[in-house]
Amino acid sequence: MSLLNREVFWPPADELIEVAERIRARLGDWPAAETRWRICLTAPESPKADDLIVFTEPHDADIDRLAKSGAALVEAHGGRVTLRRGEERFALEGEWSDDWLAALAAFLDCNFEPHDALTLALAWRAGDEKKDDAWPVDFATFPRVADLPAAPEGGFAPCTDRLGLYPVLPDAEWVERVLDLGVRTAQLRRKSTDASDLQREIARSVEAGRRHDAQLFINDHWREAIAAGAYGVHLGQEDVQTADLNAIAKAGLRLGLSTHGYYEMLRALHFRPSYLALGAVFPTTTKVMPTKPQGLARLGRYVQLLSGRVPLVAIGGIDAKVMPDVLATGVGSAAVVRAVTEAVDAAAAVSSLQQMFARQR
């Protein structure tokens, strides 16, 4: 867990490494960092792929040359911080403490990706290491994600604070079957490019949702969901760029958004969604994930930060075996896929999972 005896800052900065060491010691036990990032306080002649080059003043450095080396670049001045990593840009605005670079080194050592480590570092405040719980949990200190389009006026229609058991299902037959078993939150994730098939499956699922007075979300296909009068839609981070959020909100549909860490949570909250999905908690084979599994420790911290601010759904690799640990974080809902659709006895599986939620109340 020690940052000492390795090159964390370049050029070497004894005072920074001492502060970083103190902060890291108060953050708890986290998996070893997969990348040993080197925070460069000035641009090196020969940057490396695991360099994170920081500029805290306006500069005339050849950004394109540095970026082509594979290094990540951070420009922090004027109340704005921009991280450039390959073709990706992460822009944040707000205030930060003088210790933010030391905090950045500490959170990178906790195995957070640079954009999430940066988000946490900007939320860090001098003296936090003296608290009983040093982890940043005060939402007011977190930065804002910059350069986002305006959120729909009035936000999205709300849903219940605790959505409970949330099966994600492949077709309308499964939706009907699960709702008949007493589940009141479900999602249709129909993997089809056939327009008539989508329309038919969505319409049938929406009707089942109405019949059971259930919270039935449609994954991705927001146009068809609006046309069918669905309760809500669930979108990924990439879909926010292409979906007409104003049309979804105007139609009165709820919106759930996927997130995979601190930066994406802040980005999603800007659009005032009906709930946030946090994941993937564990490895999953149901879809290709853009990030590594979050794990229970991170999930617990996300819930601690966001509980009461927006309904939360844990998702990714969750089954009956791990469900008690997931619910112990305080999250009000957990999405499951194979735990229901691949169960030998779906009715028994649903009943057992529902009982776990009942014991949580």
284 labelled ligand-binding: yes
Is residue 217 classed as helix, strand or coil in its secondary structure? strand
Report how far residue 11's alpha carbon sits from residue 51's, in angstroms, rounded to the nearest whole number: 12
Report how far residue 263's alpha carbon sits from residue 211's, in angstroms, rounded to the nearest whole number: 38
Is residue 191 classed as helix, strand or coil in its secondary structure? coil
Q: How many CA atoms lie within 13 A of 320 on its CB side?
A: 14
pLDDT, position 290:
64
259 labelled ligand-binding: no
Beta-bridge partner residues of 165: 334
Q: What angle do CA 28, 305, 187 make, to 5 degrees?
A: 115
286 labelled ligand-binding: yes
**Each residue of 9-39: pLDDT tens digit?**
999 999 999 999 999 999 999 998 999 999 9
**Each residue of 302-318: pLDDT tens digit?**
999 999 999 999 999 99
82 labelled ligand-binding: no
Tokens read off for 183:
């589940």
Would you place residue 360 in the very low, low, confident or very high pLDDT band (cuts 50, 70, 90)?
confident
187 labelled ligand-binding: yes
189 labelled ligand-binding: yes
pLDDT, position 289:
61
Phi first, then psi: give them for residue 217, nearest 5 degrees.
-105, 145
Contacts for 289-292: CB closer than 8 Å, 24+ residues apart: 289/260, 289/316, 290/237, 290/260, 291/113, 291/260, 291/261
341 labelled ligand-binding: no
Question: Would you kindly state where each structural domain of the chain is located, as residue ranges?
Answer: 9-145, 164-360
CATH code for residues 164-360: 3.20.20.70
258 labelled ligand-binding: yes
191 labelled ligand-binding: yes
Beta-bridge partner residues of 77: 80
